Amino acid sequence: MAKLLVEGNKKLSGRIHVAGNKNSVLPLMAACILTRETCVIENVPAISDVSTMAKLMEICGAKIEGLNTPTLTINCRDIKKATLPAELTQKLRASVLLVAPIIARVGEVTMGYPGGDVIGRRPLDAHFQVLKAMGAKIKAANESFKVSAQNFTPGQIFLMESSVTATENAIMAASIADGETIIKRAASEPHVVDLCNFLVKMGAKIEGIGTNILKIKGTQTLLAAVHAVRPDHIEVGTFAILAAITCEKLEISPVVKEDLDMILLTLAKFGVNFSLEENKLIVTGGKLQAVEKVVTDVWPGFPTDLMAPMIVLATQANGVTILHDWMYESRMFFVDKLLSMGAKVEIADPHRVFVYGPTELHGRKLDTPDIRAGIALVIAALAAEGKSEIDKSELIERGYENLVERLSAIGAKIKKSS
């Protein structure tokens, strides 16, 4: 396992590049299966999740060129029936996004249950609801499940929850169903918008993009398309939090302004100084003050993927902040690492913590429980006095490309060790 060695309490400054959205590129890759023609995806982040998705697609017959580069060329002309092994699906929650497109092409798919970060229960109920509503049959076993359908049937679906990946599976299935499908309570995150825009380029007819009601008129033949992955708004928020704690001035780009409304509103409440210039976010520190409460919510509310970094920000703000993530019952459990560093955090229950700040953090030996907690620990280590060692850094690399290089370029003392 790899580790990160971090020397903290250094003032950082400069410019940092925002990678393509991790949560966009994976459904975009899956959507390429819907066409026999060659698609090109640009601004692809160099992360391990992309490699895992590529391996799963290649098992089904996809041909993918350009891995570990910013541009993927994907041809899915010869998709075949296959079993997607648990040893791969367990590494990637987004592996479930392959279900709808593979069924659309060959009528069935068997796969091990998807895994990913251990942040709480993430059942497949919403996915099974979508698939059954569109005519699929599901056989579930202990280690895997099989989904089959001759054709997807259009209709109306009111999602039992506003699940991003269930919405994306529904969108892909509806894009090739014979007729109109209406999806209500659809997720509307930027990465869902990215998928819709890509499918429109491929010839899909989608109304209501960016809203909670989608109307999709299916077409039997989708075509080739070229699409650039949207900049990752979670990275923007992460680097803005890093800048508020450790930087004299940090220019973060590129950004999409409309993706940042709730993130910037929350940072402003904490007293973070920033400005937006064209496609750049410039953060110049600030006098950090605690806010009464930060609560995650479905889009356009505060994103759950920023809760862990926001907890670190609260340790440096004057006063008491309540941070509440009702979505995942294990999101907060990384705070024991912050406690070891000197933070004052009280766990109220699995979903809520009280953070008392400001506190001086001290370098420690830490381990990474998941992607978002891992990047939060990197921020804490960069702010801390002394040296830190963060184990299992490969988990962080699932979501953040070339992190050591990008942070070193703004003055961080950080290196990777095996």
| List 117, 194, 305, 370, catalytic entry | 117
The answer to whether residue 367 is catalytic is: no
List Cα–Cα distances, 243 to 202, 230, 288, 322, in angstroms: 39, 22, 12, 22
Strand order in the sheet with 108-112: 83-84, 108-112, 144-148, 137-140
Residue 328: enclosing H or E segment and its boundaries? Answer: none
Paired with 372 in beta bridges are none
Q: Where are the beta strands (DSSP E) in 87-233?
A: 108-112, 137-140, 144-148, 156-158, 180-184, 205-207, 213-217, 226-228
The SS3 call for residue 241 is helix
CA 302 to chain CA mean position, Å:
14
303: preceding bond cis by omega (within 30 degrees): no
Q: Reduce the secondary structure of 297-318 to three states and give it as a string.
A: CCCCCECHHHHHHHHHHHHCCE
Q: How far is 183 from 195, CA to CA, in rounded Å?
A: 15
Residue in the structure block whose two tokens are 């509806």: 174
What is the Cα–Cα distance from 190 to 258, expressed in whole angstroms? Answer: 9
Q: What is the pairing mode between strands 272-277 and 344-349?
A: unpaired
Helical (H) or strand (E) element with 349: strand 344-349
Q: 279 vs 170, 171, 240, 303, 368, CA distance in Å? A: 32, 29, 14, 21, 32
Handedness of CA 150, 156, 159, 163 (dihedral sign): positive
**Hey, what are 159's tokens?**
């999602």
The set of residues, in sequence order, having a beta carbon less than 8 Å from that of 391 and lying 6+ positions away, is 1, 3, 365, 366, 367, 368
Distance CA 218, CA 166 (A): 18
Residues marked active site are found at: 117
